[in-house]
Amino acid sequence: MHPHLLIEAQDRLLRITLNRTEDNGVSDSMASALSQLLLTAHERADAVLLRSAGPDFCTGRVRDAGTTPPTAEAYVRRDEYDGIFGSYQAMRGAKVPIVGVIEGRCMGFGAAIAALCDVSFAADSARFNIPEIGHNVMPTMVMSALYDRMNRNAVLWMAYSADFIAAERALAYGLVSQVVPAAQLDAEVERFLGLLLSRPRPALLGLKEYLRVAPRMDEQGAIDYARSLHSMVNTASAMKKKAH
C-alpha cells in the first residue's frame, strides 16, 4: 500500500502504524494511502488501531520527496492539499471506529488525526501543539479537523501560541479520550480493544454512524434518526447473541 505504512490484519482488528521513522512526519502520499485504508476498513475489520512506530506519533505534514515545487497560483495549489483534507474526511467517514495511540510529540497534522480518532489514548508523556503559525503558515488545515472536537478558545490559543501542551491538558481540551501512564499504555489499549471487539458489529457501526450524522441535524431530525437507527440496529441478529 505505502512503504511508510505498516498494515496488519488481526482477526476483527486492522492495525495501521505510521512508519516514517526518519522524522515521524506524514507525507501527502501517506495521507492518501491512509484514506484508502480507512474507507475500506469495514470490509475486513470491525475496528482500526492507529499508532506510530515512534518515538513521536506525528511531527506534522511533510511534502513527498521529488514532488514539483508548489505553484504560486493559489487556485492550482489548492489541489496539493487534497491528500490531507481527504484523510480528515476518511477518518470522519470510516464506518468502523478508529482507536488512536499517541506517544511523544503530536504536532499539526498529528494533532488533527489524534482528535479525529473515535477513541484515543495518550501516554502521560505525550505533548501536543499546532506549530504552523511559527512558520508563517495559517493553520486552517488543522483547524478544519478540530473545530467540532475542541472548544473555540482552546483551538485559538493553541493556534496562536504554537506552544506545546501536556497530555492532561489535551484531555481537558477534548483532543484525546484517555491519558495513561506510559508504562501502562499498551496494556490499557489492548484491554480496551478486547472490550470493544466483544461488542456486536451492528452496534459498533451504528454508534459511529449516529455521531457522524446527528450533530448536523436539527433537534427533531436527530431524535427521529436516533429512533430509526435504534430500531434497525437492535433488531439485527447479531444483537440477539448473548454477551460474553
For 62-82, write each residue's pLDDT tens digit: 988 766 666 667 777 777 888
Q: Which pLDDT value is given to residue 67?
A: 67
For 4-21, write each residue's pLDDT tens digit: 999 999 999 999 999 999
Cis bond before residue 131 (omega within 30° of 0): no
143: left (phi over 0), alpha (psi -120 to 50) or beta: alpha
- State the residue for C-alpha cell 494511502: 33
Length of the chain: 244
**With contact defined as beta carbons under 8 Å apart, do 126 and 102 qualify?**
yes
> The C-alpha cell of 24 is what?
515521524
Task: State how far the alpha carbon of 182 is from the alpha carbons of 39, 117, 167, 189, in Å.
Answer: 30, 19, 11, 11
Number of Cβ within 10 Å of residue 76's Cβ equals 10
- SS3 assignment for 41-95: HHHCCCEEEEEECCCCCECCEECCCCCCCCCCCHHHHHHHHHHHHHHHHHHHHCC
Number of Cβ within 10 Å of residue 14's Cβ equals 24
Global confidence as pTM: 0.93
- Kindly give the parts of the chain with pLDDT less than 70: 66-72, 242-244
Complete edge-to-edge strand list for the sheet that includes strand 13-18: 5-10, 13-18, 47-52, 98-102, 119-123, 178-180
Q: Which pLDDT value is given to residue 26?
A: 94
The whole-chain average pLDDT of the chain stands at 93
